Structures are given as structure tokens and as C-alpha cells.
Structure 1
Amino acid sequence: MRFIITTTLLFTLNCSFTQNKVDNDSRITELVMSMSQRSLVMPGYLTDLKALIAIQAYHFWKNGDIEPYVSHLNVYKALYEANKYLGYDSIRNRVYNQVGLHSNRVTSVVFGTDPNYYYSSSADGSVLKWDLSNPHGIPETVYDSDKIIQSIEMSKDGKVLMAIFYQNGLALIPTDENIQEDLSIIEDPQPVQTATFIPGQRKYLSVTQDGNLLMKGFDAKTQHVGKTALRVNQLKVDEQDGTIYAGTEQGVLEAWEKPYEVKESPVKDIMQYWKQQSYFGYKLGSFSINCMDISPDGKTLAIGRDRGDVILWNIQKKELIRIISGHQSTVTDIQFNPKGNLLLTTSRDGTARIWDLRESKKLPIILDDHDDWVFTGSFNPSGTQVITGGGDEFIRTWPVDPAYFAFRICVMVNRTMTQEEWNEFVGSDIPYEVICE
């Protein structure tokens, strides 16, 4: 009988402890949610208080006994909005992470091998080089023309930039001072649908307006490697085995494997045994494939579509992994971070999103401060920052880790909450603490 009583008592105590922990976790989660929302609705003229509430919510979220993915979207948003008003330039209506000198929509942003600089292109025909450490400095103009630039791409070695024009061919622009004397700007006037560099080689691949896939070297030698009857929006070349992937307006993922076979791809009938062919086409639906990226480990192809979703494709097995949904309109650009665990997408819904591929339950971080379509986005080489560009002609920089926002608040706000503010926004029953020393 004593054993039964003891066991029952232990069970009761354990249940009580578990319940208390659940209640405590729920309260912290609710507090984080509440404070994040209070910070967001706090008017901009109460700058310091807006920031202090946001950083306190971050502190509870970071150090509380709750799952890290709970409320992370609210915390990031509150910290970002608070930072916007710290040092806000009301005369030029510009916040700290906003830069812009283009006179038309920003179509691409890319990094080279130097993590301190990135390049942007625009429909105004220019390519600018920006210093990441001096976002409001005057950028260097590396190329200027009267053509509409639909996208730019950097070679793997970071020495040559490719500018692809809308219906006007492309240009190869040397960016490395060591090769600028030997290699001047080269313009290929042949109109193309799109183009990309061949990894590790001084060659590029283009799709002509009539559907021919041409591999060209800087010495102008041309190799015919494939043909398509579909409209191609983007090309990607797998640097591990040289497979060429094409995303098409018809929603078909096409691929040409080495050795390349020059044959026209189907429009109505996808090849019956496509998994065994050097060419294959796989219809992923009727929605246009607009952008693609290959993961750093070479195992996954990420595909952004007109539907507003992302398809993750297993390269080795040639099959669907899963579909990620969230955008309300066309996905315009897509990129893995250097570790391959995060995925950046941009969209015509006016947002960019950072998805955690390891946690399907985790909501994406939503970057929604552009006033128009977001056309392009890129991680910096270390994966700590994101650069986006859009139809509002602005470029914006975003830290991936919200700790940067918290650090900036501590640097820029020179006071702490008063006891009265703490009682109102945190709670009189929670011990007062100072976050920023």
C-alpha cells in the first residue's frame, strides 16, 4: 500500500510540474506575442519606447523556455519596424537599410567574391557597384547603356559580370582589375531568351529566340548543345555534372545531360521514358517556371513559379520533394543561402521571404517594406544578410539574424524602460531587468 501511495504522489507531483511548465511556456509565448504587437502599433514619434518594447520581447523569446520558432516572425517584424525609426531621414523619406540611385525598377542584385561589394542592375540600362559597409555612399557605375537589362549574373570566379538585355543580346563586363586590361566589355548582339555562365569555365550558355541552346566561349566559338520549342525563363547549369536545367513558361522543367543531344524538346507530349534519357522534360503543372537555384550540396533544385509557390526537386532521383506555398503572387527570384538550410524568395506580392528548410512548421521571415513588386534578392557570401530590389527603384538590406536589430537598438537608444513603462508593457509581477548595459 505504501508503494502505491508513493507512486501516486510522485505521479501527481510530476503532472503538477509538467502543467506548471506548460503554463509558464504559454505565458511567455503570449507575452512575446503581445509585446511584439504593442511595439508594432506604437507610433513612430515614440521611437525609444517602440524600440525598448521590441527588444524586451526579443529577450523573452531568445531566453525563454519556448520553442525557438514560436513567435519568431512577430519578433523579427517588431525589431525591424523599431529600427526603421532610429535615425529615420524624414527629409529624404529614407530609412537606414534603404538605398537607391536607379531611375527605373531594380531587376537584379548579385555578389562577387568580395563580400563587401554587390552589384545591381535596372531597366534604366545601368549596372552599379555598391559598398555594403557604406549603404548611402555613391555607387560606382560599371556599365551604362540605353538597353533594358532584365538580369545580371556573376561568373563563378567573380571576375566577369553578364548583363542580359531584353530582346537585345547580352554583354560581358570584366569586374576584376587584373583582367580589365586584357578583357574589355564584350557585347553579343544575338537576341536571347536568357543566358547563364558555365561554372568553372570561360563560357556561357544562351537560349536564342528560336530555341537553340548555344554554348559560347569568350573567343566567340560556338557549340550547339540542345534545342527547345518552349519559352525559357531561366537556365541553370549543375557544376557537378554539367546538366543544363531550363525553366519554361509552359511549366515544364527541361534538362540536358552530358553528352548533350541536339534534339527538339516536346510541346504536347513529354517523353515517356524521360528518366532514362540524356534529355528529359517533366511537366510540373501549367504555371510558368520563372526562377531556379541549385543547393550548395548539389542535391536539390528549387523552382519558383507563377502560382506563387516553390517546388523542391530531388536532382538525383528526378522527383518532387515537396511544395512550399506562401506568396500571393508570382515568385520572381530564388536563392539558397551558402549553408543550404535557408531559401530566399521574392515575389510580385511585394515581399521577400526567408524559409527555414529544416523546419517545415516554421513560418518564413517576411520582408515587406518595398512599395512595389520585388524582382530580385540575394544572400551575401556569408549568408548573414539579404539584399532585395524592386519596382519602387530601391534596394534594401536585411539582416538574417534578428540579434543585429537588437544590438543596433542597444547602441542607439540611450535609456531603459522606467518602472512605470515596465509595469504597463511587461507586467508588475515580472521582475524588472535591464537588457542593454
Structure 2
Amino acid sequence: MRYIVTTTIFLLIFHLSKGQEKTDNDPKLTELVMSMSQRSIVMPGYLTNLKALIAQQAYKFWKTGNVEPYVSHLNVYTALYEANKYLGYDSIRNRAYNQVGFHSNRVTSVVFGEDPNYYYSSSADGRVLKWDLSQPTGIPETVYESDKIIQSIEMSRDGKVLMAIFYQEGLALISTDKDIKGDISVIEDPIPVQTATFLPGERKYLSVTKSGELLLKGFDSKSDTVGKTALKVNQLKVDENDGTVYAGTEQGVLEAWQKPYDVKESPIEDIMKNWREQSYFGYELGTFSINCLDMSPNGEILAIGRDRGDVILWDVKKKELRRIIYGHQSTVTDIQFNPIGDLLLTTSRDGTARIWDLNDSRRLPIILDDHKAWVFTGSFDPSGKQVITGGGDDYIRTWPVDPSFFAKRICELVSRNMTQDEWKEFVGINIPYQSSCE
């Protein structure tokens, strides 16, 4: 990561926040934490131990001192990550510690199943792989293989069936539990679809065909046509509280289909004419394509990622805009709440994934930018302590959410502390010397 927040930005935010609320933050210590973090970030990788110790000491000051909270956490996380990247770096395979492995083409989706210790990834190479979270560099199991490009995968609510959606083709149902294989007669559904999703509490799925028909299908291959849409649908998301299906469309309209999905045809001209009133066809949120959706754990907020690079937080009950999150420089490709609902993960074609604090809009996001191409997918693990991302560089990466993981790893791998001379240079003479790692 090369994201550096300058002292000028800090001073601006510090003075703004100081004018809004009383604070006992120590501006000198805050500036020291940011300065040390930045010096660690720019230090070359071959000075591995010193790079790590400076980042570690900045983290200790940040944790124990009265440090301004809205900027410095990003610098601290970045410095700790950069230091950890070079600790145990595999120079032969040019692999950092958090590079799990790779497909032979871009990684399109990452999802968790019934067992929280395993997750699945899909790729344009036509394969679905199963990974052991506890063995990041282990060899994955191939659970499905096809000559088709897999656009995305989705896991059923019980975690026992994977759906692989093919690009401009049909879809496949893949059992992840040997005990239910006999219950699935549909292995591949050849009807070309735009997208599809499982329905909660039922062994059924809803698909949108290329012509816009909404098909309700069971695992026994029986299907019913329940409606039609004139819009290009990029993703579906089900509200498990009332069964409403939300559709993010290329035209920038959020469609809302009520259970039992009795959807009449929705001409584009009618949507644009009547968008201010709620109806079966939903809401116009602008002309930017809606690419991804996720529902908050409490069912109150729908997160909407757009081509514009922003995220709309939509109040489901009030049916109104709650907040817009800006930051990405290109299309938002994937979006997910953590299990508690206080953090939001976004991925983007700008080459980054970002973790946003939803409780405090002033707190800068954590920026994960080590993929060498577009980032297509991201997921929190079931505990919410770790993030998995996949990108156009064919790699899968893991990222701890809490920077204390990085700090602990540094002290496990670095066998010394700063020298007195290093302390004077990077910390200063006015702060008494202490061990960075006890």
C-alpha cells in the first residue's frame, strides 16, 4: 500500500473536529504517529526489521496515547500491513504472506459456505475452488469445472448448494453436501440468464433470463414464469424479512418485487415517468448502473454499489436515501456488510477494496490496494475478523480487519527492538526509550 495521508490533511480535519467537539487529543503525538507511519511505509523492503519496528511503535503510541482518531488509524493500518508484507516474503514465487493462491484467470466471486473454516472462489477460468481458511497457502479443492466463464457464484441459505452463474449463458447448481446430492436434479440450467438468486427458506431460485423473463425454479427443474422486466438486471438481493426481491439494473433503477414475485412488465418510459412513487418497479436512483447490492444484517439498510464509484445506503422501511458514501475512483464491483452491520466492504475497478465504518462517517476507510488489477469481489469471513478479496490479477488475498493482528505478528517474527540511535532518529529525544515488542 502506498496511501499516505499528509500532515496538511490531518491539520485540517483536526481543526474542524476541534471546532465541533471538545477533545483532549495530543496533536504532537498524533503528528508523530502519522510521521512514523509514513516513514515506515516509504522505507525500502530490504530494511525489513526496522520497517516493522517503526510501524509497531507507531501502533503502540496510537493505542495507548491520546491520538486523533479520524485519520491516523488509516496510516497505522497501512504501515503495519506494508511491514508485514515483507516479513516472510516469498521472493522465489514473488508472493506476500497474504496471497492465498490464484486461478488461471480473473477471480469473480468469493463466498463462504456452511462451514466457516472454508470458502469458495469462482473465476473466468470456469472453475470453482474450495479453500481452507486456516491454511492460506494450501492447495485448494476443485469442486466444479466448466469450459464456460463463471460470472459469479452464490451460496444457498443453508450453505449446502452453490449456484454458478455463467456469463451470457445459463447456470449450474453444485452440491457442497454429499447428503443432498440426490435432491438436486438440475445440474446445469441451460437457459441464458442475466443473473439469479436463491430464495430463503425454499429450495428454489429466481432467475432473470436474457429476454427479461423472471423464472421461479425448484431444484427439481420445474419452473414458473412470474413476471418480466424491460431493464437489464445486474444483481438480485432478497430481503429475508418480507421476501422482497431487489434488482439492481444497468439503467440505474432499483426495482423492488414483492413476494410472490407477481411482476408485470415494466416499460422503461413508465419507470422514468413515475419514479417518485413507489410501485412494483421501484425507484430511479440516477443514470449510473447499479452493479451490486447487499442487505444489512438487521434488514434496515440496502447498500447499492454503482458505476459512479459511490455507494448508496437505502433505508428499506422509509424507502428513502439515508447516506451516500464517496471514495472509489471507478465502478464499485462488489459490496458486503460485516456480520454485525457496522462495517461495509466495497471492491472496485480502481484496484482497491475499502472497509468503511458505518457508525462514524468522519473515519477514513481502510484501503486495501495490493491487487495489481481491478478488484472484482470481496467477503468478510463469518466472524467478521478477516476479509477475502479476488481480482483481475488472478489472485486471492486475505486481510485482517483489526490492525492488532499485524502488530502481534511483527513481535512474533522480529527478534529485536529499536536501538537507541534508531529511537532518536525515528521517535525523538524527548520521548523516553521503550521496547516496541515486550
Give the TM bin, normalised by the shorter chain: over 0.9
- 1:89-168 aligned within 5 A: 89-168=90-169
Shift of 1:300: 0.5
Partner of 1:219: 220
CA contact (8 A) 1:226 1:256 kept: no
Q: Distance in 2 between matches of 1:60 and 1:101?
A: 37
Partner of 1:13: none
Q: Unaligned stretches of 5+ in structure 1?
A: 1-17
Partner of 1:8: none
Letter in 2 for 1:397: T
Letter in 1 for 2:231: L
Shift of 1:68: 3.1
CA contact (8 A) 1:173 1:185 kept: no
Q: Distance in 2 between matches of 1:262 and 1:387?
A: 36
Shift of 1:158: 0.5
Partner of 2:9: none
Shift of 1:265: 1.2
CA contact (8 A) 1:174 1:184 kept: no
Q: Distance in 2 between matches of 1:367 and 1:107?
A: 17
Partner of 1:55: 56
CA contact (8 A) 2:165 2:171 kept: yes
CA contact (8 A) 2:342 2:357 kept: yes
Is 1:272–2:301 an aligned residue pair? no
Q: Write out per-residue CA displacement over residues 103-152 of structure 1, whole angstroms, 9 at most, x where no aligned residue.
A: 10000011112111110000000000001111111100000010000000
CA contact (8 A) 2:275 2:284 kept: no
Q: Distance in 1 between matches of 2:95 and 2:40?
A: 21
Partner of 1:284: 285
Larger displacement relative to structure 2 (143-152 or 24-33): 24-33
Partner of 1:7: none
- With the length of structure 1 as denominator, give the TM-score of the two structures: 0.92
Q: Distance in 1 between matches of 2:25 and 2:145?
A: 60
Partner of 2:313: 312
Q: Determine helix, strand or coil for the equivalent of 1:429.
A: coil
- 1:4-403 aligned within 5 A: 25-180=26-181, 182-183=183-184, 186-270=187-271, 272=274, 275=277, 277=279, 279-403=280-404
Larger Cα-atom Rg:
1
Larger displacement relative to structure 2 (213-222 or 255-264): 255-264
Q: Determine helix, strand or coil for the equivalent of 2:282.
A: strand
Q: Distance in 1 between matches of 2:92 and 2:197?
A: 41
Letter in 1 for 2:317: Q
Letter in 2 for 1:205: L
Partner of 1:415: 416
Q: Unaligned stretches of 5+ in structure 2?
A: 1-17
Q: Distance in 2 between matches of 1:321 and 1:355?
A: 15
Classify 1:69/1:178 alpha carbon distance in 2 versus 1 (closer, same or farther; 3 Å).
farther
Letter in 2 for 1:127: V
Shift of 1:161: 0.5
Q: Distance in 1 between matches of 2:220 and 2:361?
A: 47
Q: Distance in 2 between matches of 1:108 and 1:375?
A: 7
Q: Write out per-residue CA displacement over residues 207-264 of structure 1, whole angstroms, 9 at most, x where no aligned residue.
A: 0011011111111222322210000000111111010110000000001113433311
- Aligned-pair identity in percent equals 78
Equivalenced residues, count: 417
